[in-house]
Amino acid sequence: MAETSARFLARNVSQLLEFHSELIIGAENELRWLIMDIDMLTAQAAEMNPNNDVDPLEKGVKELIYELEDAIDSFLTDAVASGNVNLSLQHAGQGHIIAEKVKNFRLRHLKELIDAYMSMARIRSVEERPKTVNHIIVEKVKDLRLRHLMKLTDAYISKPRISSVDQRQTIVKTLRPVTGDRVLVALEDEEDTMIGYLTKSKEELDVISIIGMRGLGKTTLARRIYENERIAYEYPTRIWIHVSRNSKSRDVYLNILKTFSSVDMSGTMDQEIIETVRACLEDEKFLLILDDLRSHDDWKGIESILPHNNGRSKVLITSCDNYVDAGVIGKPSDKVLRFLTSDESWKLLQLEVFGNLKDCPPELEEIGQQIADKCGGLPLQMVVVGGILAGQIMEPRGVGAIKSEWQKVFENEKLFLHNKRSIYDAAELIYSGLPNDLRECFLYMGVFPEGYEISAWTLTRLWIAEGFVRAKGNQNLEESANQNLYNLISRNLVVVDKINSVGEVKTCSVRDMIRAFCLDKALEQNLFQEIKGAQKRDFKMKEGRRLCVHSNVEALLSEVPNIPSVRSFLFYMAFPYLDPRYISSILDACNLLRVLDSKSIRLDEFPTRITKLLHLRYITLCVDDLQNLPQFLSELWNLQTLVVDTTSHTIKVEANIWRLRHVMTNAAIILSPVGISKAGENLQTLTILSPESCTEDVSEAAHNLKTLRIRGKLLTMFENSFLENLVCLEKLKLVNGDSLEMAYQNPLQGLPEPNCFPPCLKWLTLSNTFLKWNHLSTLARIETLEVLKLKDNACTGMYWNVEEDGFPSLQFLLIATADLVIWEASVDSLPSLRRLVLKNCRNLNEFPVALKSLEILEIGRVNISIVTYARNIAEEKASSKIPFKLSIAP
């Protein structure tokens, strides 16, 4: 992660040299040397540490990078704060100050670090690193733990248990030992799904994966599949291989051969072993299970000997990782093993404590369910907590006493933390295996409050602003950030809560136990600090880089007059208790701030002190009745993302927003024609724009826009080439009027020809436009359109006919609040439609029979005939064994 910080510093210095060299006259050469030295440092670090292990020099390197970063940024802040128009003359004699600091850093600290890495690399080349030894020790410790657990279990089984329906009654029970079957009580649907995949015929060898973090039951599920009667019938030859930490491809080959021959081939040459394995597998119908596959290299070594033309056979992989980039995982048949639901967790906890689902006294059900929920859906946690609860019923006692003890368990936060050491170990293993640019992204999930539903859009923009993301290949920063998010999701470190219409992540979260790991690790590495109330324990605010506030902290903030090292202040409070005046205090105290997320604090006016935050990259504000975005925002030349929430319907923009990447407001923006810049190539998101600002000058300036929302009187907005000029626009939302009355009085009279829309348009939402249904024939000819949402009287009229070949690429269609009665479509129309949503269409009698590709149908507040019609379709699909999902809302 120090590498990430170093690259971020180098990137900032490069931009400084390119765009603001007048501020650093006299220091240019030293800064150029600094960039070259950082490149050398990161190269040496990568060479010494090719496996992305946690760097022993990590903390020291990062602190030095921070120190130099603060020195440079403080110098720039002072330079700009001078207010002198001729900055180059004002500071021409002062450039040597920062030049000397940079030179001292380079020749002293950087040289020492580079030498240290070179020495470590030399040591590594002549002797085996201790990593292997450490892993052997870890495995032995795990073995000892398992043996100890077995002894405890044996003793545990022999003791009596109490289950009672009366607080004075005691009944002795014997608890069965913990088995995988208990976990599978909650995973039976997963087992059935996987068996279905495994019994399907394929033309080539099929590789299927079960992915999930340790403790979710991957091995147990795979073992159940391996032993399933149907699988045993389908695959007479079944091979189970546990891929241990230190396994080599040769070891796997030899284990495979044991299935076919008792001859010991361990002394045979590698090539002969490989040829023998290939010969055994080539014509055999087999199921090969590779349990706990750990790396892409492990897979490539095994894949090379598999007969890919053997379509009768299957390979099942269990892994804590998801090798999407390697092409191993990512097919629909792959199973990312989920966490348990609340109901499943409670069932499993009962099995862990009582041995069945019938013996829990009613008096213990409520507290038991609360404890189960607190386990976060992880089977391993249920095992640990179940052991604690079971210990409470080993001695004969009444149910009231047991309930009291269970309540103490529920309330004892430390107890839960102490007993998730095994989960911490698993998280640590996953964390240490993450690439450098993912580690800080992962730990950063802890800045959000417990149980917080995180916007994926917000998260990725914060990562970018914090400097955690670097563009990879042809990707821009946003695309690379999204890839980072999907990588974390694929490793089960992040949970997907909601997806959008085309299956992209909309919101996500982290389980409490994983978040606790993030908090501890972040505090250890000084990545961020969580502040709750006036609690001051363990907080070193003057040394912190990022502070996240989750509750009222006025008393604490009032005692901290200056915290210059803080680069991020993030407020995620359920209620905005913080007095707005503290925003000004924070801005004064943190003049090097990069991120200010204060949307949960309502302000009366736009804070003018923001102008001094030269290094600000991301800001969210909530300002009541905001009338304009002031011109002084233009001075923040590092700003990338601006999010403003206000009670106003419109906002006049006086500031130059064209250097930003993302501008989001809930009020329609009215741009000043004087301030339109030709340098808007970075702008990707602009919401909400007023129709009167939809001019050709704006579209030429913001020609790289990808997401645009327009709200207001849309009647005249198609009179120019505004939309046509937005050649990169993919998502467009058009909302007619600020109210239903205004929209009704100003309906759209039609739509322009398809070539007048953005050429890359994929996603279109229309709301309150009051078009006629036949106007949609224009949209039906847009070949790139994949998502169409018709909301709140987007169209009016009783009849809609989708003509032949209409909407060739449309995958998602939403019709909400419409007076449509008859909807027809030709057989060749909507050939790609997978998901249809009908809401509040009470007059609609039926929808087209010709929707052959439909896989998901969601209906709500519709005519009863539509419900009957939908159920008939579902039955027909089921009888034909065609995958189909029907969802009916009240």
pLDDT at 137: 29
- Please determine, for residue 789, whether its predicted confidence score (pLDDT) is greater than 60: yes
If one compares 296 and 837, the residue with the highest pLDDT of the two is: 837
pLDDT at 674: 64
* Mean pLDDT calculated for residue range 21-45: 68
Please, what is the angle between helix 2-19 and helix 28-48, to 10°? 160
If one compares 224 and 386, the residue with the highest pLDDT of the two is: 224
The CATH class for the domain spanning 434-527 reads mainly alpha
* Mean pLDDT calculated for residue range 476-496: 85
DSSP state of 719: G
- Please determine, for residue 173, whether its predicted confidence score (pLDDT) is greater than 50: no
DSSP state of 647: S
- Please determine, for residue 853, whether its predicted confidence score (pLDDT) is greater than 60: yes
pLDDT at 325: 41
589 pLDDT tier (thresholds 50, 70, 90): confident
Amino acid letter for position 501: S
* Range of weakest confidence among 165-174, 410-419, 491-500, 523-532: 165-174
759 pLDDT tier (thresholds 50, 70, 90): very high
Report whether 300 contacts 275 (CB < 8 A): no
DSSP state of 688: E
pLDDT at 168: 27
Maximum mean pLDDT: which of 398-407, 411-420, 597-606, 706-715: 706-715
pLDDT one-digit tens code per residue, 129-146: 444 433 432 343 334 333
Q: How far is CA 562 from the centre of its chain?
A: 34
* SS3 at position 144: helix
Closest CA to 460 of 439, 445, 474: 445
pLDDT one-digit tens code per residue, 326-355: 445 556 567 778 888 888 889 888 887 887
Query: What are the C-alpha distances in Å from 655 to residues 497, 558, 671, 685?
Result: 36, 32, 9, 16
Amino acid letter for position 595: V
Q: Can you tell me the distance from the alpha carbon of 253 to that of 274, in angstroms, rounded to the nearest whole number?
A: 7
pLDDT at 176: 31
Q: 583-590: which pairs have CB atoms within 8 A and are 24 or more residues apart?
A: 583/607, 584/609, 585/557, 585/558, 586/557, 587/612, 587/613, 589/560, 589/561, 589/562, 589/563, 589/564, 590/563, 590/564, 590/566
- Please determine, for residue 309, whether its predicted confidence score (pLDDT) is greater than 60: yes
Q: Which sequence spans correspond to the domains of the chain?
A: 2-126, 159-181+340-421, 187-336, 434-527
Q: Which CATH number fits domain 187-336: 3.90.420.10, 3.40.50.300, 3.90.550.10, 3.30.70.270?
A: 3.40.50.300
The model's pTM is 0.67
457 pLDDT tier (thresholds 50, 70, 90): very high
If one compares 342 and 711, the residue with the highest pLDDT of the two is: 711
236 pLDDT tier (thresholds 50, 70, 90): confident
Q: Can you tell me the distance from the alpha carbon of 802 to that of 309, in angstroms, rounded to the nearest whole number?
A: 44
pLDDT at 108: 65
172 pLDDT tier (thresholds 50, 70, 90): very low
Measured between its terminal Cα atoms, the distance across the chain in Å is 50
If one compares 595 and 675, the residue with the highest pLDDT of the two is: 595
Q: Can you tell me the distance from the alpha carbon of 335 to that of 730, in angstroms, rounded to the nearest whole number?
A: 30
pLDDT one-digit tens code per residue, 665-697: 999 999 987 666 666 788 999 999 999 999 988
Closest CA to 594 of 569, 573, 612: 569
Task: List phi, psi (to 5°) of 487.
Answer: -65, -40
Q: Can you tell me the distance from the alpha carbon of 255 to that of 700, in angstroms, rounded to the nearest whole number?
A: 64
Closest CA to 610 of 601, 619, 599: 619
Query: What are the C-alpha distances in Å from 877 to residues 295, 312, 374, 513, 874?
Result: 40, 27, 40, 41, 5
- Residue 143: other Cβ atoms inside 10 A: 10
pLDDT at 286: 95
Query: Which residue is it, tokens 């180059």?
Result: 88
498 pLDDT tier (thresholds 50, 70, 90): confident
Closest CA to 338 of 447, 497, 503: 497
Cβ partners under 8 Å of residue 821, min gap 6:
798, 799, 843, 844, 845
Closest CA to 345 of 376, 312, 323, 306: 376
Taking every pair of C-alpha atoms in the chain, what is the biggest distance, in angstroms?
90
Maximum mean pLDDT: which of 13-27, 161-175, 206-220, 269-283: 269-283
pLDDT at 139: 42
Per-chain mean pLDDT for the chain: 78
- Residue 367: other Cβ atoms inside 10 A: 18
151 pLDDT tier (thresholds 50, 70, 90): very low
162 pLDDT tier (thresholds 50, 70, 90): very low
42 pLDDT tier (thresholds 50, 70, 90): low
- Please determine, for residue 591, whether its predicted confidence score (pLDDT) is greater than 70: yes
Q: How far is CA 873 from the centre of its chain?
A: 35
pLDDT at 676: 67
